Chain A
Amino acid sequence: MPSIRLVDVTKRFGDITALDRVNLEIEDGEYVCVLGPTGSGKTTLLRLIAGVIKPTEGEIYIDGEPASRIPPQERNAAYLPQQYALFPHMRVIDNVAFGPMAKGLSREEAYEISKRMLEMTRLAWRMNSYPHELSGGMQQRLALARALASGAELLLLDEPLGALDARLRVELRYRLRELVKDEGLTAIHVTHDQEEAMAISDRIVVLRDGRIQQEGRPIEVYREPNSIFVANFVGGANFLEGFVHRRLNGSSIIQLRGGLRVRVLDTRFNLGERVVVAIREEATGIVPSSLKSKGGRGNLLPGRVRDISFLGSVVVYEVELVNGEVLNSKVPIQMDHGRFRVGDEVLLSLNPEHLRVYPYPPIGLYRELEAV
């Protein structure tokens, strides 16, 4: 039953600090996704746990025992790196059955497990092919099936679905989670795909520049991002800069560019302080401009529809506010009535409950948003 604990783990490569004092606990049976942009330290974290590299400082504990005393092959972990190697001279089924047979299972037993894993990764029909006959996406599914069949209780997966076509990637993530849960495995899964991370994991760890920026259940990280970076990287949002114009009892008024104002419930900021207001695209409501006369209470900002994107399950309205800023309003298809056209005057409704306020970033908002 693997549980993992990282205590003040730092990893340096020469002058470069890939991971900086990371503390993390992963419980037995948990599915954790490590999410972050390229170069944030995700792969380093996984390789440390796998034992492929050793920390410069700090210690990793596996089931309470210092990992420095457990050689990689005794960690009962299946590590699936981004650059994996398949056995080129073995058929697909034998690639998968190799692990279980090495552990002493009979050929029949090993094949039975292997077929199940190939079923799950939608490769059963290519059981008798050789790796070089498979597409890149299929080879990755084979590598994943092999890791799953190994019998390891700890899965360390580095972008295990990264090479797959979008449609299959979405399908397999649900099957992968189901399998890990059914078998009671512990999984650490590195990805740069935030939707995949939310869909598949019990807990998300967001890395930035080698540090943990935030961790929590997907819904917590999504609903309460602790920084502009996390709000932007996990899910995306509309961001508006402004300053605290008035402080009221239980709310503040933020003045945006061009004299627009919104009310927010966050009162941590001082009068005159420069801030950034953020709201999720699906929480940004779009209403006809005729509602204006009744307005006043909510945050209704006037603008004009600049573009409409039909994305299937959602429709995205790109609206240019009168102050020139551009916001997106994402409407679920089942709620979209198709009543707005490009060029229409509309109001964007920013419910104070969904507005988050952050300190203005020292490097500027634009640069901060580029950091992903």
Chain B
Amino acid sequence: MPSVRLVNVTKRYGEITAVEGINLEVEDGEYLCIIGPSGCGKTTLIKCISGIIEPTEGEIYIDGELMNGVPIQERGVGYVFQEIALFPHMDVYDNVSYGPRVKGWDASRMRRLVDEMLNMMALRDRMHDYPMELSGGARQKAAVARALSSGSLLLLLDEPLGALDVKVRIALRRELRRMVKELGLTAIHVTHDQEEAMAISDRIAVMRAGRIVEVGTPQDLYLNPRRLFTANFVGEANFMVGEVAGSSGGEVEVRVNGEPIYSVRSSLLSSGDVLDGGRVVAAIRPEFVVMEGTDGMNSGFGGLTDGCGASWGGRVRSEAFLGSMVRYEVEADNGVLVAVKLPSLSVGSGFRVGSRVTLTFPPRHVLLYPYPPEGLERAISIE
């Protein structure tokens, strides 16, 4: 039953520090995703866990055992790369049975396991095909099946779906999670795709510039991000710099370019920040902003906003149809540009570029952060 524990893991290449002071615990049976912008160190970290890279400092434990110095083949991990590593001269069956075969399993036991993997991955029809005859999706499934049949209880996945088309990626991520859960494996999965991470994992570790910024469930990171960087990187958010103008009964009023916005979510602020005039950042997801036309047309959720929140006037500057959602950019009268996302079924074609609208920010969806010392731009920058 593999659990994984990283203690102060650092990897340096000469002057460059790829990952620094990483502390992370992955429980037995957990599916954890590591996300972050390119160059953040996520691939280096997973390579440290697999044993491909030896950390400069720190310890790596798998199942309570110290792994430093233990070669990759003795760590009991199944590893899947973005660049598919199937043996090109073997068909799917031989690829998938490779692990058990080299371990000298008897034929019937091997056959049972491989059959089960091929069934689970819906690859039975393709078992006599060679890798080059397969679609990208099928090849990646075969790579996963091979990693699973190796008998490893810890699966390490580095962008396993990265090279695939969207449709295949969405279908495969479901299967992957289902397999991991059915087989009771532990999985650590690196991806640059936030939606994939949310869909597939129990918890997500967000990395930036070699460090872990925040770890939490998808819901935590999306609905209650503790860091500005997370709020921006995991899903879209509106950020507004303002000053505290007062607080009462847990509700804080912030002035943004002269207009008020209210929040009941100020737990990240220190008592010093809440003093009148304290500089803070208010954040709200585009889909939580309520937009109403001045002609009485609305986004359909007016009734759901508890507490009225602040309302700003504004004008629609752009409209983008995204399929299930429509995204608007509204220039508020105080000069702030606000992104708003509405379910497309609820809007029809009601709002037009140039329309006058009213924006309401429900206080329970407005998160407040202390103004970052490095400035807002730097704090949320993806690079």
Partner-B contacts on A (CB < 8 A) = 37-38, 122, 125, 135-137, 165-168, 170, 174, 177-178, 192-195, 198-200, 218-219, 222, 232-236, 280-283, 307, 309-314, 316, 318, 330, 332-335, 372
> Once bound together, how far apart are the Cα atoms of A282 and B347, in whole Å?
13
- Give which listed residue, B167, B233, B236, B320, contacts A199 with CB less than 8 A: B320
Known: A313-B325, A332-B343. A178 touches B318 (CB 8 A): yes
Minimum CB–CB distance for B375 against chain A, Å: 13
- Give which listed residue, B166, B192, B301, contacts A335 with CB less than 8 A: B301
Query: Judging by beta carbons under 8 Å apart, are B323 and A198 in contact?
Result: yes
- Give which listed residue, A233, A280, A307, A310, contacts B324 with CB less than 8 A: A280
Residue of A nearest to B218 (CB): A310
Partner-A contacts on B (CB < 8 A) = 37-39, 165-167, 170, 174, 178, 192-195, 198-199, 218-219, 222, 232-236, 285-288, 301, 304, 318, 320-325, 327, 329, 341, 343-345, 349, 382-383
- Please give, as numbers and ranges, the residues of chain A lying within 8 Å of B219 by CB-CB distance: 310
Minimum CB–CB distance for A152 against chain B, Å: 24
> Once bound together, how far apart are the Cα atoms of A11 and B220, in whole Å?
52
19 more CB-based (< 8 A) A-B contacts, given A167-B233, A168-B37, A282-B344: A165-B37, A165-B38, A165-B192, A167-B37, A174-B329, A198-B321, A280-B324, A281-B324, A307-B178, A309-B174, A309-B199, A310-B198, A310-B199, A312-B195, A312-B234, A312-B235, A313-B287, A316-B199, A335-B301
25 A-B pairs with CB atoms under 8 Å apart are A38-B165, A122-B383, A137-B38, A165-B192, A166-B192, A167-B37, A167-B232, A174-B318, A174-B320, A177-B318, A195-B322, A236-B167, A283-B345, A309-B198, A310-B198, A311-B198, A312-B195, A313-B285, A313-B341, A330-B324, A332-B287, A334-B287, A334-B288, A335-B343, A372-B165
- Give which listed residue, B165, B174, B323, contacts A195 with CB less than 8 A: B323
Among A307, A316, A332, residue most surrounded by chain B Cβ atoms (within 10 Å): A332
> Once bound together, how far apart are the Cα atoms of A177 and B198, in whole Å?
28
Residue of B nearest to A223 (CB): B344
- Please give, as numbers and ranges, the residues of chain B lying within 8 Å of A233 by CB-CB distance: 167
Minimum CB–CB distance for B350 against chain A, Å: 12
Query: Judging by beta carbons under 8 Å apart, are B322 and A312 in contact?
Result: no
Known: A135-B38, A236-B167. A311 touches B343 (CB 8 A): no
Query: Judging by beta carbons under 8 Å apart, are A314 and B194 in contact?
Result: no
